[in-house]
Amino acid sequence: MTGLVDRYEALVASGELRPDAEQAAAAERLERLQHELERAQAGSGLFGKLFSRKQAAPRGVYIWGGVGRGKSMLMDLFHDSLKIDRKRRVHFHAFMIEVHARLREERKKEQGDPIPPVAAALAENCECLAFDEMVVNNSADAMIMSRLFTRLIVDQGVTILTTSNRAPSQLYKDGLNREHFLPFIALIERELDVLTLNGPVDYRLQRLGGMATWHTPLGQEATAQVREAFFRLTDYAPEDAAHVPSADLDVGGRMLHVPKSLKGVAVFSFKRLCGEARGASDYLAIARAYHTVILVGIPEMGPDNRNEAARFVTLVDALYEHKVKLLVTADAAPEALYRTGDGRFEFERTVSRLNEMQSADYLALGHGEE
């Protein structure tokens, strides 16, 4: 297995990536972190058992920059080539859902502060915790993050690697009770190396290569277009389409199944997402967890489909507010999807948003940006 920098330079040499000084510097820093983690694991064997002394964890890294600048790509290279057993990569939103679930269980025990035992459980089999797309958009997360991550980094010795579209100082900007979140920003700047990855090339948009995001009418050609977009965004080989992994999102204690889920891209059918009884909480969970949603099979709707149309409106609102990229196959253009029926007037706003979501300006926005 070649090292991270070798893999990165091979991608540049093949033409898949353009030369980018900030990316190259980040790759070198991440390879140094790999070596530090691997040496720490090697030194925690017999010596660690004999002396029972906890060594200081290698210093983590926070990489931030605009959408499509290669942050997730570098995270992939780091995690895939890191030669330690106790490592974990997880989307930040999924991690915080897990944290809140663990906190609920600890509070039931009524044995004091639930954060220390939760941090200990999270660190039990993990020396390096890698997050993709850290974003903080609710007060529940903001209120606990400083204490939780202090326990993970300082007390439990977990090395953190994370990516974000925002500089640390801009996280949870203008959020409710933000003063309680400021210690977390100070913790990041004190305990992690902050790297900027904000070069001129949006690799995610570049991979789409100017492809349209709205494909009509329904049929093999439209399906082939969104399939191609999925494989461009995820690097998943088209011949392995049947083996794309699925996922389950925790929505307040119940699970929402995601039929295809890979590298921040989710694929749903309209029937599954809007034809079944769902609410805003389902759509918000999707919008927070995925930077791109591919929705297939949107039909033309009429008076008999007012429930489906209303759910579709709620879905689009959630995706729009979180600046999620939306690729679809549909029976018609947005203006012709729902011509008559209850809520037709309100649907006009959805039509406007759907058209805006196809624009270059919208597609250039980072996931979760206000």
pLDDT at position 46: 46
pLDDT at position 297: 97
Mean pLDDT, the chain, rounded, equals 87
pLDDT at position 44: 64
Query: Could you give the CA distance from residue 248 to residue 258 in angstroms, rounded to a whole number?
Result: 6
Q: Is the confidence at residue 366, as pLDDT, over 90?
A: no
* CA-based R_g, the chain, Å: 22
DSSP 3-state assignment of 193? strand
Cα 285 → chain centroid: 11
pLDDT at position 82: 93
CB atoms within 10 A of CB 331: 17
pLDDT at position 337: 95
Nearest to 211 by CA among 196, 235, 227, 199: 227
Query: Could you give the CA distance from residue 319 to residue 155 in angstroms, rounded to a whole number?
Result: 37
CB atoms within 10 A of CB 170: 13
Nearest to 22 by CA among 90, 92, 69, 85: 69
Q: Is the confidence at residue 53, as pLDDT, over 60?
A: no
Structure tokens at 293: 């949603």
Q: Which residues of 201-233 are buried (b: 16+ CB within 10 A; e: fewer)?
A: bbbbbebbeeeebbbbebeeebeebbbebbbbb
pLDDT at position 238: 67
Query: Could you give the CA distance from residue 64 to residue 132 in angstroms, rounded to a whole number?
Result: 10
Would you list the DSSP string of 133-162?
Answer: S----SHHHHHHHHHHHHIIIIIS--EEEE
DSSP 3-state assignment of 330? strand
pLDDT at position 5: 94
User: Which of the residue ranges 148-162, 194-208, 286-300, 320-334 would you say has the lowest mean pLDDT?
Assistant: 194-208
Helix (H) or strand (E) holding 182: helix 182-191
Task: For residue range 311-334, list pLDDT tens digits in order.
Answer: 999 999 999 988 899 999 999 999
Identify which has the larger pLDDT, 130 or 97: 130
* Beta-bridge partners for 329: 215
Identify which has the larger pLDDT, 288 or 102: 102
Phi and psi torsions of 266, nearest 5°: -120, 145
Identify which has the larger pLDDT, 47 or 336: 336
| Residue at 251: amino acid letter | V
Which residue matches tokens 């925790």? Answer: 250
Residue 217: asked if its preceding bond is cis (omega within 30°), the reply is yes
* pLDDT class of 49 with cuts at 50, 70, 90: very low
Q: Please compute the mean of the pLDDT values over residues 138-149 and round it to a whole number.
A: 90
User: Which of the residue ranges 7-21, 90-104, 295-309, 317-331 would you say has the lowest mean pLDDT?
Assistant: 7-21
Identify which has the larger pLDDT, 303 or 2: 303
pLDDT at position 33: 96
Identify which has the larger pLDDT, 47 or 167: 167
Task: For residue range 234-289, list pLDDT tens digits in order.
Answer: 877 766 777 888 888 888 778 899 999 988 899 999 999 999 999 899 999 899 88
Would you list the DSSP string of 60-121?
Answer: EEEEE-STTSSHHHHHHHHHHH---SSEEEEEHHHHHHHHHHHHHHHHHHT-S-SHHHHHHH
pLDDT at position 83: 93
Q: Which residues of 333-348 are buried (b: 16+ CB within 10 A; e: fewer)?
A: ebeebbeebeeeeebe
Q: Any idea what the Cα angle at residue 206 is, between residues 201 and 209, rounded to 5°? A: 155
pLDDT at position 67: 67
pLDDT at position 55: 59
Q: Is the confidence at residue 215, as pLDDT, over 80?
A: yes
Crossing angle for the helix pair 306-321 and 280-289, to the nearest 10 degrees: 40
Q: Is the confidence at residue 367, as pLDDT, over 80?
A: no
Q: Is the confidence at residue 50, as pLDDT, over 50?
A: no
Domains of the chain: 4-196 (3.40.50.300), 203-363 (3.40.50)
Q: What percentage of the chain has pLDDT greater than the value 90? A: 53
Query: Could you give the CA distance from residue 74 to residue 72 in angstroms, rounded to a whole number?
Result: 5
Nearest to 150 by CA among 97, 190, 187: 187
pLDDT at position 19: 82
**Side-chain half-sphere CA neighbours of 122 within 13 A:** 32
pLDDT at position 293: 96
Structure tokens at 172: 């949870």
pLDDT at position 47: 46
Identify which has the larger pLDDT, 315 or 363: 315
Query: DSSP label at 16?
Result: S
CB atoms within 10 A of CB 290: 28
